Amino acid sequence: MLSTFLSHQRKAFWRSRNRGGSMATQILLGFFMLYFLAVALGVGFGMTVFLPKIFPNQDILRSFNGLILYYFTLDFMMRLQLQELPTLSIIPYLHLKVSKNKIINFLNIKALFSAFNIWPVFLFFPFIFIEIADIYGGFTTLMYIVSILSLTIFNNYLVLYIKRKSITNALYTVAGLLIIAAFAALEYFKVISLMKAADYVFKAVAEYPYIGFVFTLAAITIYILNSRFLLSNLYVEEMGSKKEKKVSTDYAFLNRFGKVGELAALELKLILRHKRSRSSLILGVLFLFYGFIFYKQPMIASDSFGKMMFAAIFMTGVSIIIYGQFMFAWQSGHFDGLLSNKINFKDFIKAKFLLFTIASTVMTLLSTFYGFLSPKLLLLHLVCYLYNIGFGTVIVLYLATLNYKRLDITKAASFNYQGTGATQWLLMFPYALTPILMYLPFGLLKMPYWGLAVIGIFGVIMLLLRSFWINLITAKFEKQRYKIAEGFRE
């Protein structure tokens, strides 16, 4: 049956209207994956050299043990954002004599084919074979390998379980991210030390290797929970959809913008009435805690704004990034209706700019509590805010004209589902790298505030040129609208 499912998936890919773009994306992602695998392999073999330099007064094994849980915590957070749910069109098989267990087994096996599951092998195994095997022998080495693989599988199925549970209740995702934020804050304020905890755990594995099977048991448990949830909710992802309550809300503050404000209000209603789009607002608020991970007192004291730039860009522009990555696709269900109505496309694009500007303004104001850490962060956030509303909105909307992938906003409660994956997050490269590259020469010349001034002025100039960019994106949208509509019909 596995070969049959794979055959159907292959045929669906080759018969897709968007196979050309999908192939190009997969090739590009393949290059990125190979690059990061090569980096992981280099770091793995280089740990014996790097760790004594990074932690000069610490035993090398203690340093290695301490990094393991750090890695898997970061791995969990990255999976939440980038790992796709393994998909399969379930409806045709539910009408046939196909066992649910076979469908579930295929989805579980398919979930293992992820780059996230390969990186730990390249990163940790070289050090284990070089150092652990030499000091503790073969059985302990084997149990270290079992522990690493078990943690990898545990993270893999835990993320899938959280994403699937939050289909019916978005609070699972919210609770998970709040727990991570709480631990990050405790680590930041040195209340707890993840490195010490990891060293304690893996030192126990080194002394009593059988303890490593605890990780295996945890991986098996989450696998069983995931399978049972799928078995009892197999219809939810494809067939389950709750009726949305109708709400007639008028946003008076948008009335002053005329037709543009009316279109923006309609989209705001769309956002608030559907679980998936609402989750983008919830995530935006939760990601405000990213600063506790990135903002360190030594960086703030030394004016190392380049190292904190990504966090500031992300927090002040998180709504643009999370919601904007699926722009136009949010309206894929009624996109043909938009094209057939008497809607001025220029006003349509202006409404998007207006929503992005309002969202970024709100997120920037909410992030002002970082001013208690240092007033310098307020300046950094102001500069990043200008960059987001000036340049970020332009690049997101321009790239949206190249997105032909349909999105069903009635079937999901979070950012994790249909249409979500690393493809959309590729826009982060030009989005996040541009300000960092602009700041880099000034940072190297020890002129950090000049670097911030250049980025801020760039954002203001882009903002002053907004009419030009609106005309450009409108022309691009008019040219691409039928291709977009064709893709949304699929």
Whole-number pLDDT of residue 5: 59
**Tokens standing for 148?**
């690493």
Q: What is the pLDDT of residue 90?
A: 57
Percentage of the chain with pLDDT > 70?
A: 75
Greater pLDDT, 404 or 65: 65
CB 168 within 8 A of CB 413: yes
The model's confidence at residue 61, banded by pLDDT at 50, 70 and 90, is confident
Place 96 in a pLDDT band, splitting at 50, 70 and 90: low
pLDDT of residue 324: 77
pLDDT of residue 217: 95
Pull the structure tokens for residue 166.
Answer: 């939050």
pLDDT (0 to 100) of residue 14: 56
| pLDDT of 17 higher than 90 | no
pLDDT mean over 253-260: 74
Give the separation between CA 435 and CA 181, rounded to whole angstroms.
26
For 458-484, the pLDDT digits (tens) are 999 998 888 888 889 989 888 888 787
**For residue 477, what pLDDT is reported?**
85
272-295 pLDDT, tens digit each? 776 667 766 777 777 787 788 888
The string of pLDDT tens digits covering residues 340-363 is 777 788 888 888 888 888 888 888
Question: What was the pLDDT predicted at 113?
Answer: 79
Spatial separation of the C-alpha atoms in residues 208 and 200, rounded to whole Å: 12
The answer to whether the CB of 308 falls within 8 A of the CB of 295 is: yes
Question: How confident is the model at residue 421, as a pLDDT?
Answer: 41
What sign for the dihedral angle of Cα 255, 256, 259, 262? negative
Burial class (CB in 10 A: 0-12, 13-18, 19+), 454: middle
Q: Where are the domains of the chain?
A: 24-239, 252-489
pLDDT per position as a tens digit, 430-467: 788 889 899 999 988 889 899 999 999 999 999 888 88
